[in-house]
Structure 1
Amino acid sequence: METSTSGSVSPAPSHAKSGAASPNLIERRSIDYIPESERHGSVTSQFTLWLGANLQITAVVTGALAVVLGGDVFWSLIGLLIGQIVGGAVMALHGAQGPQLGLPQMISSRVQFGVYGAILPLLLVCIMYVGFSAGGMVLSGQALGHLLHIDNTSAILLFSGMVIVLATLGYRTIHVMGRLSSIVGVGAFLYLFASLLRGHDISALLQNCHFGMRTFLLAVSLSASWQIAYGPYVADYSRYLPRSTPAFKTFLAVGMGSVVGTQISMVFGVFAAALAGDRFAGHEVSFIVDLGASGAVAVILYVTIVLGKLTVTTLNAYGSVMSVAAILTGFGGQRTISSYVRIFFIVLMVGLSTVLALSAGQHDFLRKFSAFLLFLLAFLTPWSAINLVDYYFVVKERYDVPALFDPAGRYGRWNVKGIVVYVLGVGVQMPFIATSFYTGALVKALGGVDVSWIVGLIVPALLYSLVARNSQAPEALILPD
């Protein structure tokens, strides 16, 4: 059941009505509510999107870090899997909100922070998009450069142009890319595993088993942070599903796709780093393609690398527009932005990532990316904890969607309680963070182990559940007329 803005109760539209989805190639929606008449797709597309988005080289590099930074093979694999499951569950809980609300993920932050207050996490998320995109452009530029025999700068610029085109086309095209990436990626990784492990005894690799708490928790943190970092935009890609789509099915499709895809990539990274050593670190693209020797197989591997990065970088560019639009419309109370403004911000955000990739991203990439990923987690986990606790336990999915676009409405301009809990959630992690450019005061006492993301999930969740337990939620989900 759902209520309209006038408070009257009406039955939820049936799944059959969703068949009238717009056939336009270029998406016309931005941050506005997706009406039931335009809903389309199935949970299968969620699985293939997140599977394909994670069968990619940056995930391989991240998995390799568990070994490059001192871990053994066996416990690195276990730690990565645990982090995938924990982080993937958090990420998928966000994704399950999409069909119910019909909105991009970060718009719902206005419930917890206020229409203006939500700008704080939105700005941090924009930084995330730029950083992840820049890292992907470095590796995809290497692959595209080898494939087309052009220099890295030209390759990165060409790759950026492709991202702009795909992000402009929007939601449908992104899901088509996901299906294509999943098919190509699965085939490519089967070949890569066979080539890498040919002539090597897997049992001998797994006997490299020397448990160390610091390196084990590093592996957990690497994969958990990878998954949690998707939280601010995962619902952007499920919001067109019919409202009748069961939330649990969406949760499973999103979570399984992301966890399976990422674990495949990271396991390959662990084995590659263990077997190749210095031949892998810093030469990731050439090492992977050399497994195909030459000719058509090498070309296919280059295409696979580019395709995987193209998919996830397009997600970043598209998500950046949702966040920027949420910032802009928060001040004016608008529910959408024009197509021209949307395209402008796609070009702007991709352009910033391109500049970063060209100027600072091509040296010591492994360690810089690790530091960025782990430090970024300190700002994402409190937002994630607050959003999930509020949605599932405080207001229990009962949002007033029209009020999300009204600074004078139910949620107000600023939600001081949510903002204070968020700031405390970030601050409480600082003593526990261990990165190359910042180390907290308690890290040494813990043997160098970084447990900040665990603190950043638990403390804000508990605090917010206490301060917001008397929040007045509507009696039922209120959707636009």
Structure 2
Amino acid sequence: MAGKSLIETRSIDYIPEKERHGRLLSQFTLWFGCNLQITAIVTGALAVVLGGDVFWSLIGLFIGQVFGGAVMALHGAQGPKLGLPQMISSRVQFGVFGAVIPLVLVCIMYVGFNATGAVLAGQAVSSLLGVSETAGILIFAAVIVVLTVCGYRVIHILGKAASVIGVAAFAYLFVRLLSTNDVGVLLDNRHFAWGSFLLAVSLSASWQIAFGPYVADYSRYLPSHTSSLKTFLAVGVGSVLGSQASMVLGVFAAALAGKAFSGQPVAFIVGLGASGLLASALFFSVILGKTTISTLNAYGSFMCIATIISGFRGQLTISRAQRLVFVLCIVGLSTGLALAGQHSFLAAFKSFLLFLLAFFTPWSAINLVDYYGITRERYDVPALGDPDGRYGRWNWIGIGVYVFGVLIQMPFIDSAFYSGPMVEKLGGVDISWLVGLALPALVYYFLARGSKRQVPAQMVLPSQA
């Protein structure tokens, strides 16, 4: 049966009840383990590198984690109830063809994440194996291809391994950091500034919200009777604890290192704790953490591309050969970008991370409001693959609110790509992600509730069509 195979045979199609498996602990370990990794450390470090002090950066990062983690976990709780990947459910809000709009942007986001992640993983592989950073990136990419093709079960096994090894590595690094440095001096240096504080909030909130478009992909095999609240807590607490631990380490590392952190963050982090054999073990931990999150990104990108193509084909099945081709293309593109931009990482990553929020917070707001406030789990699964079905080709309410949500943020965005006119008036503070969540959620709720779209009385499964 598909549910028993170590190599996943299903893709974007509905998971029947007889193939459901797993426990909530695997949700916690997956999201905890994938966040104990070097890119999260670098993201936390940016709060200090870009002008914040240690004390208020730590508080700002935690507030962003909790808020963004709640949004992300609300998406994750949909998985067991729907038995579907996250982005295919967007056809309910956008239409079978209209869902392509956010899907294309999601693909771009995860390719970008994997490109930046491959740079850091390449540094760790280079140090561990004694090869060039370019060779390290290529070796890392080959591993990602294999794991992504294997799919769901292997990814959860990887998450458990990353949790165990990550906890050991991070505990050691924190002990070394606290025993060899006077952290109290760093915490006593408190200079509150709204701009730096809200930057820290935005960094961690964007980190969490960016998981939203694929978080349900990794909970969709859980039995449908699994508690939504417990799923929410397992996903959210795991992600918040893992990312906050990484970002705290990043804040202290950046405060101690100064400019030395920007060039070789991997080598600096490992250098905090050890040399020789122990350093090799820490480099391996870095590689494993990056492997976990990069596999998630590649798998999520595959799901998005499969969803785009299936919408125009009118079916929800993808063959193994097609799966391999899609994964090779996705990983190949991100690897090419990593090789081209491996020497200018930190600045580009910060700009990318903050700017992408303008395109994903409105999608998140629309999806959550529709699922929890309008349809309330009552999806017509067969209609998701039928352009002439209940959800149609284009849902202009969802598309219109999405465009509105992107545009309404523009005056409030502050990034290297673009800075809106309201940023200066707000003292250099970027609040676009708050605007992009709140206003589209309200507008969509009132428009969708007043529309003539028919919501089924209960969830319609493929066997009931």
Identify whether the pair has TM-score above 0.5, normalized to the shorter chain: yes
Is 1:53 equivalent to 2:34 in the alignment? yes
Displacement, 1:21? 6.7
Q: Distance in 2 between matches of 1:86 and 1:209?
A: 24
1:440 aligned partner: 420
Distance 1:24 1:395 in 2: 33
Q: Name 2:434's counterpart in structure 1.
A: 454
More displaced 10-residue stretch of structure 1: 436-445 or 460-469: 436-445
- In 2, distance between residues paired with 1:46 and 1:276? 34
Aligned-partner residue type, residue 122 of structure 1: L
Match of 1:255 in 2: 236
Displacement over 4 Å in runs of 4+: none
Q: Deviations 1:77-107 (Å, cap 9, x if unpaired)?
A: 0000000000000000000000000000000
- Corresponding position of 1:373: 353
1:195 offset after TM fit, Å? 1.3
Partners of 1:95 and 1:231 within 8 A in 2: yes
Aligned to 1:475: 457
1:14 — aligned with what?
A: none
Asked if 1:408 corresponds to 2:391, the answer is no
Q: Secondary structure at the match of 1:70?
A: coil
Deviation at 1:282, TM superposition (A): 1.8
Residue of 126, 144, 157 corresponding to 1:176: 157
Q: CA deviation at 1:346?
A: 0.3
1:246 matched to 2:227? The reply is yes
2:71 corresponds to which residue?
Answer: 90
1:350 Cα offset (Å)? 0.3
In structure 1, stretches of 5+ residues that fail to align are 1-19
Matched ranges for 1:112-151 at <5 A: 112-151=93-132
Partner of 1:424: 404
Aligned to 2:362: 382
Cα distance between partner residues in 1 of 2:66 and 2:274: 35
- The residue matched to 2:202 in structure 1 has which SS? helix
1:155 corresponds to 2:136: yes
In structure 2, give the amino acid aligned to 1:461. A
**How far does residue 137 in structure 1 lie from its aligned partner after superposition?**
0.1
Give the distance between the partners of 2:119 and 2:314, measured in 1 at CA: 38
Kept in 1, the 8 Å contact 2:383–2:390? The answer is yes
> Relative to structure 2, which stretch is displaced further, 127-136 or 20-29?
20-29
Deviation at 1:293, TM superposition (A): 3.0
Work out whether residues 97 and 393 of structure 2, in 8 Å CA contact, stay in contact via their aligned partners in 1: yes
1:269 corresponds to which letter in structure 2?
Answer: G
Taking the TM superposition and a 5 Å limit, the aligned residue runs for 1:276-287 are 276-287=257-268
- Give per-residue Cα distances to partners, 1:253-283, cap 9 Å, x unaligned: 0000000000000000000011111222222
Question: 1:206 Cα deviation (Å)?
Answer: 1.2
Counterpart secondary structure, 1:98: helix
Question: CA-to-partner distance for each residue in 1:35-86, whole Å, 9 max, x for gaps?
Answer: 0110000110000000000000000000000000000111100000000000
- Per the alignment, in what secondary structure is the counterpart of residue 356 of structure 2? helix
The alpha-carbon deviation at position 204 of structure 1 amounts to 2.0
Distance 1:395 1:318 in 2: 27
- Partner of 1:245: helix, strand, or coil? coil
Q: Which residue pairs with 1:214 in the alignment?
A: 195
Are the counterparts in 2 of residues 21 and 39 from structure 1 also a CA contact under 8 Å?
A: no
3-state SS of paired residue (1:32): coil
Gapped regions of structure 2 (runs ≥ 5): none
Aligned partner letter, 1:431: P
Please report the RMSD computed on the Cα atoms of aligned residues, expressed in angstroms: 0.9
